Structure formats: C-alpha cells, structure tokens
Structure 1
Amino acid sequence: MFQLIISWDTLPKFLKQILPQSYTYLIKTFNELPPFQTAEGFEISQFELDAFVDVCDKEKANKWFKDFESRSKTTMPETKRYEIKEKRVLFREKRHCLHSDIVKKKQGNRETKHPQSTRVRNIGCTANIHLRLESWRIKLSHPLEINLKFTHNHVVNSAESLSFRHIDGTVREKYLELFKDGHSPASAMYVYEDELHLSATNDQELLELLADRAKNPDYDYIAKLFQKYHDTELGGCNGSSMFQCLVEVVNSFNNSGRGKAALQEFNADTGKSFILCIVTELMCCVHEKVRQAGELCYMDASSSFEHFNNLIILFYTSCAISALPLGLFITSDEFEVTLEKAINLLKSILPPLSPPSATRR
C-alpha cells in the first residue's frame, strides 16, 4: 500500500539532499539502513527507497534522472538494457554507481593509465537505481516508478569521488561560447573558474564546485573540446573550410566600419603564401591625423604565432606622446617576395595621410 504523497518541500532533509526539486513523490516504502563507516572514519547514510514520481513520458524520465545525478553528486551509468515493448513498458533502466564492480565489468578490460595511483574508481560500491515507466500507469498522477538503493561505500561529495563525474552539458556549452568569443583553452578556463569563484556563496560551496568535474572540467578535457570545436567550426589547418571561414570574418570586419583587412589565401599548389593585413580604426585615425605617419615608420618583427609558425610584423610611427600603430600583417613565411607582397597589400587598404596632399615614401 502507498503511504503518502509528498511534495519536495515536505520531504525529509536527507531525501532533499538527493531527490530533484519541482517534482512530487508517492512514497511506497522507505527503509533506513545502518550507516556505512569509511576507513577515514566518515559515516555515510544509507537507505532503500521505493517511490513513484509525477513523470509521464520517456524524455521527462531521462530529465528526472539527470536532475537526480546533479542533485545527489553521483554518476550512475546504465548497466542493464531492457527490451522495450511500448504497449506495456515505455521506459526502463537499471543503473549502478560508477564505482561498482558491475560497471567495471561492463566496460571490459581497459588498460589502467596510472596503475600505481591511489585514485581508484572501482571500489565495489553497491548503490543502484531502477527506473520503470509502464503504459497503464500514465493515467495516474505518479507514473514513474523508482527503486533506489542508496548504499554508497564512499563519500559522494568528496574531491576524489567528484573528480570522476561526467561533464555537465551546460558547462560544455559555456566553454563553446567562450571559444566562439575568441578564447583559448587556457583563457577560457581562467574566465570560467573566475565565474565559479563569484557564484559561490561560501568557501565550502566553492571547494565543492572546484573539485566537481561535472562543473569544473580538467584542462585536458577543455583542450580536446577546443580542438574538436576548431576542427568542426574552422576546419583543419590550411584546409579550405578554415580559409572560407577567415574570408567571412575579413568581409564582416570590412563591413563593420571598424577598420580594413585584406587576405591572400594559402595555396601550396600555386606557391601562394598566407598573408593577412589589418588596419584597425585606431590605426586609420593615426594615418589621418598624425603628420609623422607619412614621414617615419618602423617595423617590429619580434612577434609570431609559434604554434602555427606564422610571422607577425607591426608598423609604428613616433610622435611626442609615444609610438602609435600604423598597421600589421601576418605571413606564413619570411621570404622576400612574401614580405614585398604583404607590404603592397597593406598599402592598398591604408587610409589617406594628413595632410591630404602628403604622400608615403
């Protein structure tokens, strides 16, 4: 027999810590078990719960489970796949804690990257959850059945346990937005972690956020995500899709009124080097308003994109206040013919000098 229908607000405190909000629960049975004592002396609450949730379709059932993982700070991969006959069962899954023996067996004999490390994932945890949505229950108020055995043998919110969690989808999208804004993996990580510091209400919450891989990915994941984004959005190095994207960026910049740019695409077959010339709005003002722009110019070739082996040359002029920028170009090599072509291409997008009658030497 069912005992009672409980809203999230009236749930016991220990259930509030793991069950998702915005749902109501029909509690069938609840069995509180003796706490588990870890080797470090921590006591972990354990219980078994059979309940029904006000969820009526497969998509919402998946969302409830994702919310459950996020709320409880656990990761529970699917360990048993059932044959779904939609006339009777719409959704059914069996999942175990990531730190269980059965998950290790399902993944097979994978090579351990760091066999001497004390950071071990498989510690024989027995926690599991069974989800079942039967078609005949759809007409009821709480169709989704959950059978939860919360019998973890580890602290679920410890730094070690949190370091194994899967990356949250919203975090992944946040990093992709930072990459679109022009951030590198390192700068994106810095900006994101800075936001985590600002969002935390206390030191304990901050420590948990920083340790939780779901909310704070490691640099290796961020670098691989950036490489995947780079290959998908920009194409491979020297690929046609990359230059097509660059042409669109140059055209957008020229139409924005913020300056001028000119591009020569790289083509190994015809021997054409890569050249990108840029004159920003500030540089245009220097040409138009500073007399020295037509009389004195010096070059700085000390910069480069070392990873791509591209040369960056900046042009300056001097005046009473300081050095002022005149323009820059980026090339794929340092051959004389390439530099001459780059200078001529840069001159083609320079604005008029001050005064208008002046000429460049």
Structure 2
Amino acid sequence: MSSGLQTLLYVDLHCHHNTHPRSSTADLKKGSKNTNCPSTMFVIIKRTADCRGRNRSKDKHIGQGYPTIITLKWDHNHEVASADALRERDVSDGATEKLLELYRSGHSPSSALDTIKYDLQEAADRAHCPDLQSCYRVFYKEFRTHYGDTGGAKMMLFLDKKVQDFNENHNDECVKLETTCDGQTVIAICTPLMKRVHSMWKISKEMVFVDSSGNMDRQNCRVFLLLTHSPAGALPLGVLITSSESESTLTSAFKLLHSILPESAFFNASNGPGIFMTDDCTSLRLALHEVYPNSVLLLCHFHLLQAMWRWLWDSKHKIDKNDRPHLLNIFKAMVYAETEDDLHSMFKRTTEADATSLKYPGFVAHVNEIYERRVTWSLAHRKDLRTRGNNTTAYCEAAMRILKDKIFYRLKAFNICQLTDFVLTRLENYNVRKLTDIANNRLNSNNLISRFYPCPKDVSPDAVTKLGNCQEYTVKSGRENTYYNVNMDIGICTCPIGRTGAPCKHQAAIMHKYSIESSNFLPVQSVDMRKLFYTIATGGDAIDDHWFQPLRSGILQTDNCRNISVSSPKDASSTEEASSLEGTPH
C-alpha cells in the first residue's frame, strides 16, 4: 500500500494461500495453507486534482469521474468456497470482540471457542469461528493489557494499581500488598462485606475455619480463606493470597490481614476468635498462634483421619492391606471417644492390647505421637467448647469448591493480579447474592431446608416446659425420664448433640410449640434476622421492615428479649456421631 504525487492509493494484493515461503519445500509442510496461488489484485486510486484544485491529468477516465483502476487476476489454483479454504481465513473483528466478551465473563480460550461453535452451529469459516491458536493469541493480548505480564515487575505494578483503585473506590483500606524480607508476595483482603460480617455477626467471635488451596493461577499461589458459620453457609472474614506456605510468610500474611480488619473485628473480640479450626499444617498453625496466641487451635477430624489413612497406605510403613481398615477404625474410635476416660482406655487398648496393632511397632509409635496432641483433635476434649457441632473444616471445603467452580470455572487465573481481582469482585458478588436470597426467603432447595429445619417427631409438645426466664426451657426425653435444659438465647441444649451449640430436636420442638424464631435453623422468618442478612449483604438498611414480613403473620414472631445468635448444623464428620446419638435413649 502506497501513495504518490499522481495517486492517492496503490494496493498490491495477493491470495492468502500464497505465503511467499522461504524454502521451496515449505508448501509441502503438513498443515501449511500455502498453494503458491497466482491470483492477484491491484487497486489504484488516482488524484483528481492537485493542491490548488486543478486537474492536469490527460487520463480521460479521470475527467469522466472514474479515478479508480482495479486489475484482477482471478486464477486460483484451489477451491475458493470449500471448508479447507474457509478454515484459513483471517479472524474477523466481530469474532475477536465476541472472544473478548467471553474472556471478560470468565471463559478460557477452549471454553470460549466451544461457546462460539455452539452459537454458530457450524465451524468451517475461520473468520467467524476462530481456531484455538487464534483464541489463545487474543486471550494473552487481552489479559496482558488488563493485568500485565504473567509475572515480574510489570505484573506487580498492575497489581499495586489494582489494590489502590479498589481502596480508593471504597474509601477504606480493604486490600493490602506486601513483599516479605525473603521476597515472597503477600496479599491480605477484607472487603466491605467481610468487614460487616466481623462487625455484625456474633458467631464470628466463637469459631473461625481456615483452609487453603493452590493451583488457581499460573504462579501456583496459595489462597487462604477465613470463614465463620451461619445457617446461610460459610460467611467470609478474610482472604489471604501468598506465594509461599512457609511459617514466616504466613505470619506476615496474618499480621497484614489483622492490620486492615475493622475495630470491631471478630464481633469486638480484640484478641481474636475463641477457636480456630484448621488442617494439620504446621506452618499455618504456628503462624496463627503467633498472631492470635489466646485462641484455641483445633484440628479438623476429616483431615486427621485422612492423614492416618494415607499413612496406613504408604508402602514404606509395610502395613498389610487386610489390616488397614481395622487400624483406621480403632484410631477413629479414639477420635470420637466421648469422655477422656474412654479415650485413654481406647489408647491403651490400641497400643498395648490389640493384636493387630502390636504387629506394627511403627503404627504404635505413630499413634503415641498423635496422642500427645489429643487436646487439639479429641472430641472428649472439646465438649465444653462452643464448636456448635462443627468438628471439620467442611465449610472451607464447600467454599473452595464454590471458589473454583463458580468463581474461576475450574480455570487458572492469568496471574496473581487477575486472581486478586476475581476475589475482590466475583467472590464478593457471589456472597452478596447468597445473603440477599436468604433475606428474601428465596431458598431453592428442600434438602437444604430440611437439613437446617428438622421436624421434632420424637418430642411431644407436652414434653416442653417454659421456665420463668423467657429464654429458658426444659424438654423431657420421649424415651426415658430425662430432662434437658435449653437456652434459646444462645442456642444451647444439654443433650449430647446440642451441648456445643449445634441444632438439635429439642430446640426444634421449642421453636414449633411456642412459634418463636430459632436462629439455629432455616428458613429465617424473623424480620430482624432477615434484615440483618440484607444489611450484611448490601451495607444499607433502606428497605422498609414490611418487606421482610412473613407471608402468614404470627407463625414465627421476633423475640425482642434475646440477641440474635446463629449456628450451623452438624457437619459431615459428625453425621455418624449425631445419628448414633439420635438413636440413643435420652
């Protein structure tokens, strides 16, 4: 393409199947589109006047108003309208824009291509349906523009700018970035919704679950979630993104997060929550103890049993395949022993009397080592703690699945900058929608309702007696003359299930008989509770109380003499324990 004194435009075009290969054998290369096609086209647009508006050209065609000359040599040596020819066309601007829209919605190059193919219902013309290589080119070009390179100084500049913009938009320090002395990257996140959970959700001072996952971005950074429980599922209290799992890095990360928490963090518990529950990660637990020395650190039963199972299956320990289930079961019996005496008795039997375990001195030594830390994992040692029936980090497992499936769509983030951006925007929006649905009573799963809202069929209404205090009740067991005391204010029952604050059938019986709201269960019917969920989700209270009124008035009334306190149902690890207790005469 060129221009001159006599021409405005001169274009020399050739067929895109003539790629001017460097070698004579390039056209024989497998997959090459070169056919040495001789077809050409020349386009010349001549000037009709000079700078003074005069026409001195002797070309009669210009005088007649035809300044353009097109010379077309249509001599293709290949099919023009075949599928193979269309497959080699340049990707159109429209197709590129469609790809960008899909990438901004969270698609990968392969899933975006599948979506385009589905919409078009045909995949022959590359101009409208690009190939995977073209999708990747657009993908990397787009995300480098928004998030910088996949690593290095340029990416960190983009990340720092993203952090500053988010804090300025919310007029608060919600994100903080730091590089440790050994060069590790640490990002602490406490979004406005997370800060409202800290300030307004009473249970956040009782128990916090912490778990991590990797393989979410191309640098394989670790993402740590801090969650508390509620009938709406896990509520977020903070997110950490680190480039390492070392103790020093995690200690810096938790200190950085603590520096951006609100003054009312953990519902005004300045020294941290009462309990942290984690897996058996030494660096994580040491970092938590360093930052929150007054909190109790408990081990997740699921991860503990899983670790034992892996130990038994490790070939270097030489455990016979037929003995592995027995050894796991006797260890599991230790974990779920209800009293300290039972625990000690089972430990002695395992290490001194069980014939199978005595065959493996390594197993006995391993059990002895774990037993030294029994305070962190034994059910008998946590019966007086406010665990609300949670003995695993099941909330974290569910939250991680949501993060990977619904936030990242099982794709790796382009870099740590995009990973941070998705946590700040998509994860925040997901939690807003979830809490808003609870506030609007838009539960769409009967299974979810039944899990949080059990029917007290084993408890007669006549067995429930209200005491003088408006929150104190006694419930007589339906199978024997045993009475349990229930405090509906804090959601505690003296039965084996409800003693840690977990929902039980005795609380449900009181709720049904006296038509009061129990915040241990769903659906949420009280105006105060639904409005609280809405305020946590949105940060505002503009909606009138009438919006949250139940359809049938008088079913469940708000009890103004008690504070709102919420807990969750039994988690997966305690299902077996709870079901056995349900079948035991009370």
* Global fold match (TM > 0.5): yes
Cα distance in 2 for residues equivalent to 1:110 and 1:344: 65
Partner of 2:418: none
Output aligned runs, 1:128-277, within 5 Å. Answer: 128-136=40-48, 141-172=65-96, 175-176=99-100, 184-186=108-110, 188-189=112-113, 193=116, 197=119, 206-207=121-122, 210-231=123-144, 234-257=147-170, 261-266=174-179, 270-277=181-188
What amino acid is aligned across from residue 21 of structure 2 in structure 1?
Answer: Q
How many aligned residue pairs are there?
260
Counterpart pick for 1:280 among 191, 201, 205: 191
Offset, 1:212: 2.1
Give the Å deviation of 1:112.
4.8
The unaligned stretches of length 5 or more in structure 2 are 49-60, 274-586
Paired residues of 1:88 and 1:135 also in contact (CA < 8 A): yes
For 1:109, the equivalent position in structure 2 comes to: 23
Aligned partners of 1:235 and 1:242 also within 8 Å? yes
Scaled by the length of structure 1, what TM-score is found?
0.60
Letter of the 2:23 partner, please give it.
Answer: N
The structure with more helix, counted as a fraction of residues: 2
Distance 1:184 1:352, change over 3 A: farther
- Tell me the amino acid that sits aligned with residue 166 of structure 1: D
Which digits, 9 at most, give the CA deviation of each residue in 1:164-202, with x for residues without a partner? 1122345445545665676543455456x17x81xx5xx
- Alignment check: 8 A CA contact 1:264 1:274 kept: yes
Q: Give SS of 2:207's match.
A: coil
**Is the 1:292–1:317 contact (alpha carbons within 8 Å) kept by the matching residues of 2?**
yes
**CA distance 1:166–1:320, change in 2 (3 Å):** closer
1:310 maps onto 2:221 in alignment: yes
* Aligned residue number for residue 279 of structure 2: none
Shift of the 342–139 alpha-carbon distance from structure 1 to 2, 3 Å rule, reads: farther
1:140 to 1:311, Cα distance in 2 relative to 1, 3 A? farther
CA RMSD, 1 decimal: 3.5
- Tell me which residue corresponds to 1:92: 10
* Identity, % of aligned positions: 30
C-alpha spacing 1:216/1:265, structure 2 compared with 1 (3 Å) = farther
Letter in 2 for 1:294: K
CA distance, structure 2, for counterparts of residue 280 and residue 85 of structure 1 = 57
Shift of 1:241: 2.4
Rounded to whole Å, the distance in 2 between the matches of 1:265 and 1:305 is 20
Shift of 1:277: 1.4
Runs of 4+ in 1 over 6 A off after TM superposition: none
- Report if the CA contact (8 A) 2:204-2:267 is conserved: no
Query: Larger deviation: 125-134 or 221-230?
Result: 221-230
Q: CA deviation at 1:314?
A: 0.6
**C-alpha deviation, 1:332, in angstroms:** 0.6
Matched, 1:343 2:343: no
Which runs of 5 or more structure 1 residues have no equivalent in the other structure? 1-80, 201-205
CA contact (8 A) 2:204 2:266 kept: no
How has the CA–CA distance of structure 1 residues 221 and 182 changed in structure 2, closer, same or farther, with 3 Å as cutoff?
same
User: Does the CA contact (< 8 Å) of 1:289 and 1:354 recur in 2?
Assistant: no
Q: CA deviation at 1:291?
A: 0.9
Give a deviation string over 1:204-263, Cα, whole Å, max 9, x none: xx42xx322222222222223433444555444442222221111112212333985333
Using the alignment, how far apart are the partners of 1:244 and 1:305 within structure 2?
21
2: CA distance, partners of 1:321 / 1:114:
63
Is the alpha carbon distance of 1:155 and 1:313 closer, same or farther for their aligned partners in structure 2, counting shifts above 3 Å?
A: same
> Which of the two has greater strand per residue?
1
TM-score by length of 2: 0.39
Superposition deviation, residue 95 in structure 1:
2.3
Query: What is the alpha-carbon distance in structure 2 between the residues aligned to residue 239 and residue 233 of structure 1?
Result: 15
What is the 5 A alignment of 1:283-298? 283-298=194-209
Q: Is the 2:223–2:241 contact (alpha carbons within 8 Å) kept by the matching residues of 1?
A: yes
